Structures are given as structure tokens and as C-alpha cells.
Structure 1
Amino acid sequence: MTTTTNLRVDSYLTGVAAALDDLPRGDREDLLEEVREHLDDLAHESDAPLTVRLGEPEAYAAELRASAGLPPRGRASRASVTRTLGSARDALLAQSWVRPVLGFLISVRPLWWVARAWLLVSAVVLVQWGSWGAWSTRLPLVPHVGSGLTGALVVLVVAVASVQVGRHGWGVRARRALIGVNAVLVVAAIPVLASLSDATERTVMQPNTTVQYVTEPPQQGTWTRGYRVLNVYPYDANGHLLTDVRLYDDLGRPLDLQLGQDPNRRAVFDRTGQPATNAFPLRYFEPGTRVVANPSAGPQVVVPPLVPQPMTASATPQASATSTASATP
């Protein structure tokens, strides 16, 4: 009778243990030890199968979890991971050097609140404009948002919001979301700092010790102040817009904006039939026509007339001295 009872208990207990195999070893052994005593008592009281009196081992194991306050099967693994991480955290905090470091990091949190605002704005500008043109040429370290001054104002506004977010007491979910945002910004700091380094790669020291940041121009197109030139509008000394003016660089090469092919761009040819790609300003036909709607259109600028200055060669010092000597009695 005792052997049969033990076999029934062992068989049922094996099924219960299999249903609890996702629990930490200590929790599982404590539950099984208590259950075995209870199963032994039930087996001695009656010869009825334990599955009839208690239900299937899986169902009985689920009841044990609930009564012990343990998570259902499937969530236990996450709970075990959470406990493991908690134990690791406690062990780390027990180290003598950890708390001073944490105290220092907490004291400099406001610096991070400002830094993450700068990172956020810089990352958005970098994604939108690319490395070239993402930074102000007049205000170092400031992202170019229309202008350097506007970029500085945007960073200031976002920094105020970031500080307010850091000072606010958030719930658990909000804190986790904020940690995720901080982690993304830390990763974004790599391309942002790389772009900033490229934009200020060459530094020219002037005689008056001022520093001028010179960005390396791209290989294609014509650029000025971080923007690509899409057209050129020449004006004469009286401030009148000129048309079909051919421009060359210092080596006599035709100025080419390298804008690629555009069937709507008005083409200009010289007398030999060769296209004059350096004739400015460029004009465009209305879509589907060969008509330029406004041939005299120009940028919205006021061009004041120039003050004439003499352009004749000045006399050499020797000639000046000779003339002076001849004029002296």
C-alpha cells in the first residue's frame, strides 16, 4: 500500500514539477516540498486518483502559482529576469565606488538636460539637410535652422523644455520612455559629432589671432555660406539687372552650377552653335511651353548704384620722384 501510494504521489508530483519548470529553482523546490506533504496525506486518506481529487497537474500547478503570488506560466521568465537584474543592481550598488559616482552624475544632470536639447535639434537638422549646410558658419557648434541665430534660439527653447521635463516627477512608464529617448540621443551623438567635426575640419589662424572655420566644399556644384547656388543674377553699376551675362572663374573656365539636365531650362548658344552653360541668369520655360513668363525676374533685393572709383594705374614711386624733381626750380 505504501509503495503504491508513493508511486501515485511521485507521478502526480512529476507533472506538477514540469508545469513549474520555468520558475527559479528556489521557488520551485519550496512549492514542491509543501505539495508533497499534502499529496502524501491525500494518498493515505483514499485510493481515489489524485487527478480526480485535485485535477490535472497543470491546473493544480496554476493554483499553486496564484496562491503563492507568483506570475502565471509565460510571465515567470520575465519575472525571473527582472529579479536577476535586480540582484545584479543591488550587488553593483554595494560597491564602495558606485555611490560617489552616482552622486556626481546626479549633480550634473542639468548639463545633460541642455546637451540633449542640442543633440535633438542637431540630429533633426542633420537628417533634413545632411552634413553639408547643417551647421552655422558664423556661430560655431550651432545647428543651421534658416540662420545661425535662429538655430541658437531653437536650441534655447528646446533646452528650456528639456530642463522642465527633467525637473518633473514622472511615473514609471514615462520614466522608461524618457530613458529610451535619452539612449537614442546618446547614439545620435555619434553622427552629430562626426558631422560637426567634418564641418570644422580645417581651421585658419589669422594674424590677429581670430579663428575662422573653413568648411571643405563639396565636389559638385557651386556653394556659398552653406547653400547650393541655383542661379546667378548680375547687376551693373547702376543697379540694373543684366541678362545673358557669361561668367568665368579665375582660370578662365566657364562658371558651371552643374544643375544637371532640365528640359524646361532655356538654353543659350553662341554663334558657333555651342551651348553657353555659363550665361546668367538662368531662365525657365513655363511647363509644356517654350515661353519664359517673366524674363526680367530677379531676387527680392535692393541693389544701390555703385560709387565710381578710378581704375587707372597709379604712377610708380620712381616716376613720381622724377616728376617732382623736374617741377622743382
Structure 2
Amino acid sequence: MNSTLTGAVASYLAQVRAELSDLPPGELEDVLDDVSGHLTEVAAEFEAEPTAAALQERLGTPREYAAELRTAAGYPPRTQPVADRDAARKALRRGLLAATAGPFLVAVGIFSWSSDETLFFGLLGLGVLFAAAYLGVRALGDNDPRIVLETPRGRRAAEAIRGLVEQIPPNVRSELVTIGQPVWWVARGAIGGGGFFALFGAGAVAVVGALAGAAVSIWIGRRTQQDRRWLWYVVPLNVVAAIAVPAFLSAAYMGASFGFLNDYRGSGTTNYVPDGLFLNGTPVSNIYPFDAQGKQVTVRLYDQEGTPIALRPEDCEATYGRVDHDTASNIFPHRVITPDENGSYGEEGNCQDTDAAPFVPPPAPATPIPTPSAGRTPTPGTPTPTPPTSATTTPRPGVTLTVQPTR
């Protein structure tokens, strides 16, 4: 069928299609090819693009024109009702909802900072997507999926898409269909399946998920070519893939992480070290040193190589921009903002902070004094054994903290 028809001519052809939609698909396309050629010749008889009224005056209403075609071709009268226009509008609205709201929520999950948010928004987005697509297919009923093109919004969208497609050279269009389409099927399935299964396992599971996703994606693509109702599911999923594939490739190339990779970029490797100071996997935001008598002291901290162990301040000055918030300090404890008697943290003018520890430290354990073993008396000239010092103790692996009291 000629796809270059526009305006009232394209609308007239779409209405004729609806009147003939009960014909077998192959025969319908042959008839419509002849109709589009006839409409092109009729439109050329007008000095300007014909209006719907001018076409109906020249050819009759779409129903009358379709009836004449049936008679001329020997087809029986129509026994099925013409497509419900209300069904077309409902199917189109729900399809648009599936293609916008669902991918938006999935995108929020992809660019989230934690795997929990990624999983929540991802599943929510997919739920909205499939629910809206299912309702759209239900709204179609037994009608041809192309009835949505008979609605004003559907016609405008189809014309816009045709305009974009016509800008592509014919040879490139052919390459996109024969080569680009299968490549896209594999890419969207591999990224989707691999990214999903990466949330639940290591790299091997993600690889298996990518292979399974590619196979499923190819099957869906082939299925869509046979049944256009699958477009209500495939188009929204293509929008999701158009967001996820570039995000995944950019993250892999730049070493960055988006949602589904944030908590898993160390999976399968041992060289990932998170930023900041951590204790047993928990981030440390402040340090409160105490001396042997349980008195809080102020110290400077260094590691075994003399590098300052510094954290960024979270006091009033840093919070309200009076000092550079990115400037870290190795003097501990840091001052932190505290709430007032009403539980409010205040504003810039009445902000309060303190370096007092928010806890009471447990008593320091008593250090036992070594005594000679019972029944043994040191003899003169025999050196008394001394307990090993920290210098002779086998060091534990990890970071060594050097505490230097400030004056």
C-alpha cells in the first residue's frame, strides 16, 4: 500500500480499509494497493490537496466506495460490524500509557543509587507497562490493530512517522530492516536479561540471563511480525531498551554505575573499593577518641604510611557554605549539627553543632600485670622474662591508625 498519501486522502484510505477489514489479509493488501493508486490519480486531478468533502463528492463515502469494490471483485457483503471507533481510541490511549509511564518508572530505577530502588521502580514500571498494554489489547477486541490509525491522533502520529522514514535513503532503510532489526532484537534482549539477572547473582548468572533474553527477544520480534497486537507490548519495551542499552554501554565504557550496576559492579571481581571510611562494611561518618581513663580527647589520625585519615565535615559552617564542604579534616571528633530542645535542626541563623560524643563509652578493660609462675624463683643473673611488646606482636592485616594528640 502506498505510504505517501497524506491528509484527507490518507484518512479516506484508512476508512476504506476499515470497511474491508473482514477480507483475508493478503487479499486486503492487494485491494488497498489498487485503491491507493486510484486515490493518488484522483488527488492529482485537484489543483490543491483535496478535502474530505471533495473526495466524497467525487468518489462517494468510504462505505459506498468499499461496497463498489466488493461488487466489482465479487466479494460477499460485509457481515462483521465496522471497527468500533471508541475501541480504537481506548486502545491507542492505553498503548500510549504503556509506552510512557512504564518506561519512565523503569528509567527512574535504572538511574537510582541503590539496588533496592532499582528493583522497586523497575518492577513497578514493568507492571504498569504490561497492565496498560494488556488493557489496550483487550480494548481492541476482534478489530484489526490498525484501527488506531483511523483516529485523529493515530493519523497524525502515522503521518509524522512516515515523514521521518521518508527522510532515510531507500538503501539505508533496507539495511536497517534486514540487518539492523535482528541486531536490535539481540541487543535489547541481552541487555534486558543480563541486567535483570545481575540483580540476583554474579556474572555467570547475568551471562545466562543475557543469552536467554536475546533468545526471547528474537522470538517476540518474529511473533510481532505475525500478530500486530504484540506491538502494544513490544513498542513500550523498545522504549525501555532505548534507555537501558545506551546507559549500560556508557556505564561499562566509563566505569560508572547506574542503578542495576551500583551494588554489583564489584561482582565477579575483587578490586572494587568503595569511597570513604568503612568499618565492617558500614560507612564511618565521625570518630570519637577516648584516653585510657575514658576522657574524650581530640586527635589527628594517620594511616601506616602517614597519610591523613580525613572525613568531610558536617557542621554548621560546612552545611551552610561558610567553608568548602569538600575540604576534609583529620582532626577528630568532628563537630556535627544537633537538634534544639524542640527537635528541630534549625536554619542557618540558629544552627547548633557539637563535638561531644552521643554515647557513653564502656569502661576500659584493666591491663593485667604479668607475675612469675608459681613455684619458680628467679636466680641471680637470670634475666626476668618480659611480656612481648606491640613491636614484636605479629601485626594484623588492615589499616593501622596512628593517634597523635593535639596541643
The answer to whether TM tops 0.5 is no
- TM-score, normalising length from structure 1? 0.35
Which of the pair has more CA radius of gyration?
1
- TM-score, normalising length from structure 2? 0.30
